[in-house]
Amino acid sequence: MPLKSKKNASMLAVPQHVAIIMDGNGRWAKKRFLPRIAGHRAGVSAVRKVVEACATRNISVLTLFAFSSENWRRPKAEVGLLMDLFISALEKETRVLHKNNVQLHVIGDLSAFSDKLQKKITEAEDLTSKNTGLTLNIAANYGGRWDITQAVRKVAQEINRGVYTVEKVCEKAIEQHLAFHGIPDPDLFIRTGGEQRISNFMLWQLAYSEFYFTELNWPDFDDVAFTRAIDSFQNRERRFGQTSEQVQSA
């Protein structure tokens, strides 16, 4: 039997952390002659489904890219409607998440959001902070380059304060200041909508993630589609720089 067709324990395990770029809301709406915001609204329903799917499968962490630091470049009206949608989604969904033992975090530069949205985020995070089930991270006004830059700035400040010297700067020194600090790196990265790029998402953390791309637009991404992604993940051999033979014998 060729080595590659053997499955080891890590291949059969469910991913601990799944990270998703939810792309294709606009195209989903356009196909139906609907305004783009209808696609984003349908996207919220798809979020609900994928959260349930993760909880059912005992996946520990789900991270969703809801709004990138570059999305401010969209037409003002769409940005405004998206902000309203985030507020209404937090108002409607937080209690349901809490009831289902989900711990919610919103990760990104939140200072750019309205006071009302920031308050809703804090309330939702506080309410769910002690929950022990799925950790749901929503990346909002987030960018991988922003995250690395702000972490490096903090490292430089520590050097300035004499906490350590330049020679002591290591990956751990940077990692501890990243917005995703303390959260295991994604095992599986999914992007819907047919594009095959990572668009400034989790640049540091995706170093060894398995990538899965699907043509489905985000609102069409259902449990069947999620199962396909998990199946694909479970058929990969993750080597983390080692040889296939080393992985097989471990």
Query: Which of 86, 226 has the CB closer to ligand FPP?
Result: 86
Rounded to the nearest 10°, the torsion over CA 126, 128, 131, 133 is -140
- Among the candidate windows 42-50, 159-167, 176-184, 230-238, which touches ligand FPP by CB under 6 A? 42-50
Q: Is 215 left (phi over 0), alpha (psi -120 to 50) or beta?
A: alpha
Going by C-alpha positions, the residue among 56, 14, 9 that lies closest to residue 188 is 14
The whole-angstrom separation of Cα 164 and Cα 171 is 14
Q: Which of 17, 40, 105, 191 binds ligand FPP (CB under 6 A)?
A: 40
Going by C-alpha positions, the residue among 189, 100, 114, 104 that lies closest to residue 138 is 104
The distance of closest approach from Cβ of residue 204 to ligand FPP in the complex, given in angstroms and rounded to an integer, is 21
Contact indicator for 180, 205 with CB cutoff of 8 Å: yes
- Closest residue to ligand FPP: CB criterion: 26
The distance of closest approach from Cβ of residue 25 to ligand FPP in the complex, given in angstroms and rounded to an integer, is 4
The distance of closest approach from Cβ of residue 100 to ligand FPP in the complex, given in angstroms and rounded to an integer, is 15
Q: Is 86 one of the binding residues for ligand FPP (CB under 6 A)?
A: yes
Please report, for residues 49, 56, 153, 167, 169, the alpha-carbon distance to residue 163 in angstroms, rounded to integers and kept in the order given: 46, 44, 14, 12, 11
Span 115-144, contacts to ligand FPP by CB under 6 A = 138
Q: Is 49 one of the binding residues for ligand FPP (CB under 6 A)?
A: no
Q: Which of 34, 55, 79, 85 binds ligand FPP (CB under 6 A)?
A: 85
Residues 6+ apart with CB under 8 A from 3: 244, 245, 248
Q: Is 20 one of the binding residues for ligand FPP (CB under 6 A)?
A: no
The whole-angstrom separation of Cα 162 and Cα 158 is 6
Please report, for residues 15, 54, 86, the alpha-carbon distance to residue 57 in angstroms, rounded to integers and kept in the order given: 9, 5, 26
- Among the candidate windows 40-48, 145-153, 164-172, 224-232, which touches ligand FPP by CB under 6 A? 40-48
Span 152-171, contacts to ligand FPP by CB under 6 A = none
Q: Is 238 one of the binding residues for ligand FPP (CB under 6 A)?
A: no
The whole-angstrom separation of Cα 169 and Cα 118 is 33
Q: Is 216 one of the binding residues for ligand FPP (CB under 6 A)?
A: no
Residues at the interface with ligand FPP (CB under 6 A): 22-27, 40, 43-44, 47, 64, 66, 71, 85-86, 89, 138, 193, 218
Catalytic positions, written as ranges: 23, 71
